[in-house]
Amino acid sequence: GAVVSQHPSRVICKSGTSVKIECRSLDFQATTMFWYRQFPKKSLMLMATSNEGSKATYEQGVEKDKFLINHASLTLSTLTVTSAHPEDSSFYICSAGGPGETQYFGPGTRLLVL
Amino acid sequence: AQSVSQHNHHVILSEAASLELGCNYSYGGTVNLFWYVQYPGQHLQLLLKYFSGDPLVKGIKGFEAEFIKSKFSFNLRKPSVQWSDTAEYFCAVRLSGGYNKLIFGAGTRLAVHP
């Protein structure tokens, strides 16, 4: 139980385009979801906390107009990287608050911006 | 600001050796503590967690961790490691209660040689 999926698993896009990443809790409802960025050989950096039906809370230094987060239902949150640039290339991971007050993580999405 | 430090960035062990990975946090209030593992090419999985009660917590795959409040520590242990334990291990802290954000340590990369 407590499975979180992400789609796509990897995406390559051109500089200037927008990319949408989906995060779904498959077997539980999640009022709270989180979006992280993981740099090579580094830890996870929290980007924002997403609550169903309300605006996301962004961490300091994260541009909310660049990283649009929508949490429209209890099982789906989306992260849209707008006007992507090569420096946005990274591994994006979502998690969902699930059973036992525990975060369950998705498999991640590798974004490469050319 | 709260922070989590993991003392060892890389650990190399032979099979059957004992393992202890250090984790210290800085926060004076009540916290929830987690250890996550990330096997090569896989997503983060919960190893164990501590919310309250017995400070010695047992997790999956023979891992355990001990919460020592006076030392602000939550070290991870396994008496005898296997090659399949090769992975990256992350300690995380959350301010107590609900789905507050996790603060991750930098991670420890463990390599177990046969």
3-state helix, strand, coil in chain A (%, to 5): 5, 55, 40
Q: What is the pLDDT of residue B51?
A: 92
- For B80-97, write each residue's pLDDT tens digit: 999 999 999 999 999 876
User: Which residue in chain B has the smallest CA separation from A93?
Assistant: B43
Closest to B18 in 3D by CA, of B76, B89, B66, B80: B80
Instruction: Identify all chain B residues contacting A34, using CB atoms and an 8 Å cutoff.
Output: 101-102
What CA–CA distance (Å, rounded) separates A83 from A96?
26
CA distance A9 to A36: 15
CB within 8 Å: A101 and B46: no
Quick check: A42 pLDDT over 80?
no
Provide the pLDDT for residue B97.
60
- Residue B104 host element (H or E): strand B102-104
Question: How distant is the Cα of A43 from the closest Cα of chain B, in angstroms?
Answer: 5
Q: What pLDDT digit, counting tens, does each position of A81-105 carry?
A: 999 999 999 999 999 988 888 899 9
pLDDT (average), residues B60-88: 96
Smallest Cβ–Cβ distance between A43 and the set B32, B42, B104 belongs to B104
CB B4 within 8 A of CB B105: yes
Look at A107 and B42 and tell me if their CB atoms are within 8 Å. Answer: yes
Helix, strand, or coil (residue B54): coil
| Cross-chain Cβ contact A44/B49 below 8 Å | no
Question: Shortest Cα distance from A16 to chain B (angstroms)?
Answer: 29
Question: Rounded to 5 degrees, what are φ and ψ at A88?
Answer: -85, -10
From the list A41, A43, A101, the residue facing B99 with the nearest CB is A101
Phi, psi of B82 (to 5 degrees): -120, 160
Q: Inter-chain contact A105–B45, Cβ cutoff 8 Å?
A: yes
Q: What are the E-state strand segments in A26-113?
A: 32-38, 44-51, 57-58, 67-73, 76-81, 90-98, 102-105, 109-113
Confidence of residue B30 (pLDDT cuts 50, 70, 90): confident
Taking CB atoms and an 8 Å cutoff, what residues of chain A touch B32? 101
Cα B35 from Cα B78, distance rounded (Å): 13
pLDDT at B98 over 70: no
